[in-house]
Amino acid sequence: MDIVRIFDTTLRDGEQSPGCSMTVPEKVRMARQLESLGVDVIEGGFPIASRGDLEGMRAVAREIRGCTVAALARSRRDDIDAALDALSGAAHPRLHTFLATSDLHLHHKLRMTREEALDSISTNVRYARERCAEVEFSAEDAIRSDIDFLCEAVSWAVRAGATIINLPDTVGYAVPEEYAAMFHRVIEYLDGADGITLSAHCHDDLGLAVANSLAAVRAGARQLELTINGIGERAGNAALEEVAVLLRVRQATLGVTTNIHLDKLYATSRLLTEITGVPVAPNKAVVGANAFAHEAGIHQDGILKNPLTYEIISPEAVGVPKRQLVLGKHSGRNALRAALVEIGYAPTPEELDECYQRVSALADKSKHIHNRDLLTIAHQVLRKRGTPSAVAAE
């Protein structure tokens, strides 16, 4: 089965999101966790950007031995030199250089002609390749670039020595069919792109980053650039945990796999939250607090009979400690019985009925039923039996 390589950019693109900057020791801690998660590449930073970025990148490069470490550089010699310096201690270094290829960026941001862009790509990719065994070239804003010029630009990068070509949707503008079509065109232009790894890098401005990453894989991309919890510029990047689970759950249909150890996803997400202090939305797929919580009575009943009824992957498979049957105004008797048994009560059908009425009444007034509420209700109802054996496991 084909492997899709996972390029994690939590420490670079992710760190660019507001409130997510990390100190050097925090970056190293996160990088170790990413290595044990099984990512293939860790992008550790953008060394020219600041002293801190350079130091962080150096420390990550020295620490990580089990996977590739990438450093980002614009298509400029001073950037590339800073990145090479930061990578000097790496076991498996990759120089990642980029230049925008859309007319919008070339004209308004870089004030460059297309010819100057081609020259810059050729000169700087060659310069990087002479000093680093592995070079990735990213055509920034690829999706809004003129497709013929994009093809030409990436072929110049390939001729200059880049073996990984990344086609980013820098502004999260693409729809999946369009993103896939761009990959098809580039692969065709490169005569099948033998020996070249095509890479996707999607931002989430329209909420399509994961869908676009999937479209790219179906069109032939074999590297995906992702971040933990989907952090990144503006609306963020495609979330690593979502893509990894997607590729595993739908493996039979997609025919590809990754090297990610799914059972480490939750711990990795939690570590990032702990380091940055930026919380994950409760309804976030895979790692959100409600991702494996069930409140509706019909769902709870199904889950208790067979978890597959309402779960496409088990919480344990992604390292979430336990599924939650949430007691609230939508929950049912079976979930309530399970919760009571869990806290040591074995209600008769009548007692369960009375507990249920009380829980429902409370749930109408308050958003959450806490364990202490359940304990109080159970104690009041089961105490009526008049024997201490009311409190016992079944």
Q: Which of 64, 47, 48 is nearest to 56 (CA)?
A: 47
Residue ranges that bind Zn ion, judged by CB under 5 A: 13
| Residues 203-242: x where in contact with ligand KIV by CB under 6 A, - otherwise, as a string | x---------------------------------------
| Residues 343-372: x where in contact with ligand KIV by CB under 6 A, - otherwise, as a string | ------------------------------
SS3 191: coil
| Among Zn ion, ligand KIV, none, residue 269 binds (CB under 5-8 Å by kind) | none
DSSP annotation of 97 reads: E
Residue from 201, 222, 299, 337 binding ligand KIV (CB under 6 A): 201
Residue 169 has phi, psi (to 5 degrees) of -100, 80
Beta-carbon contacts of 207 under 8 Å, excluding residues fewer than 6 positions away, are 235
Residues in region 81-110 near ligand KIV by CB under 6 A: 98
| Residues 9-38: x where in contact with ligand KIV by CB under 6 A, - otherwise, as a string | ----x-------------------------
| Among ligand KIV, Zn ion, none, residue 138 binds (CB under 5-8 Å by kind) | ligand KIV
How many residues line the site for ligand KIV (CB under 6 A)?
9
Token pair recorded at residue 94: 């990759």
Given the DSSP bridges, would you call strands 68-74 and 41-45 parallel, antiparallel or unpaired?
parallel
Q: Are residues 3 and 256 in contact, defined by beta-carbon separation less than 8 angstroms? A: yes
DSSP annotation of 13 reads: T
Complex with Zn ion: residue 13 or 242, whichever CB lies closer: 13
Complex with Zn ion: residue 206 or 298, whichever CB lies closer: 206
Is residue 136 within the footprint of ligand KIV (CB under 6 A)?
no
Backbone dihedral region for residue 103 (phi beyond 0: left; psi -120 to 50: alpha; all else: beta):
alpha
Is residue 45 within the footprint of ligand KIV (CB under 6 A)?
no
Is residue 179 within the footprint of ligand KIV (CB under 6 A)?
no
| Among ligand KIV, Zn ion, none, residue 98 binds (CB under 5-8 Å by kind) | ligand KIV
User: CB 204 → ligand KIV: shortest distance, Å?
Assistant: 11
Q: Are residues 100 and 76 in contact, defined by beta-carbon separation less than 8 angstroms? A: no
Beta-carbon contacts of 138 under 8 Å, excluding residues fewer than 6 positions away, are 96, 97, 98, 99, 165, 166, 167, 168, 199, 201
Beta-carbon contacts of 55 under 8 Å, excluding residues fewer than 6 positions away, are 24
Query: Which residues are bridge partners to 252 per DSSP?
Result: none
Distance CA 136, CA 125 (A): 8
User: CB 200 → ligand KIV: shortest distance, Å?
Assistant: 11
User: CB 87 → ligand KIV: shortest distance, Å?
Assistant: 17
Complex with Zn ion: residue 13 or 26, whichever CB lies closer: 13
Complex with ligand KIV: residue 57 or 262, whichever CB lies closer: 57
Q: Nearest residue to Zn ion, using CB?
A: 13
Is residue 137 within the footprint of ligand KIV (CB under 6 A)?
no
Complex with ligand KIV: residue 27 or 74, whichever CB lies closer: 74
Please report which residue ranges of 240-370 form alpha helices under DSSP H: 240-249, 251-254, 265-276, 297-305, 333-342, 349-365
Task: Using only the alpha carbons of the chain, give its radius of gyration.
Answer: 26
Q: Are residues 71 and 49 in contact, defined by beta-carbon separation less than 8 angstroms? A: no
Handedness of CA 339, 340, 344, 347 (dihedral sign): negative
Residue from 45, 56, 168, 176 binding ligand KIV (CB under 6 A): 168
Is residue 331 within the footprint of ligand KIV (CB under 6 A)?
no
User: CB 170 → Zn ion: shortest distance, Å?
Assistant: 6
Residues near ligand KIV (CB under 6 A) are: 13, 98, 138, 140, 166, 168, 170, 201, 203
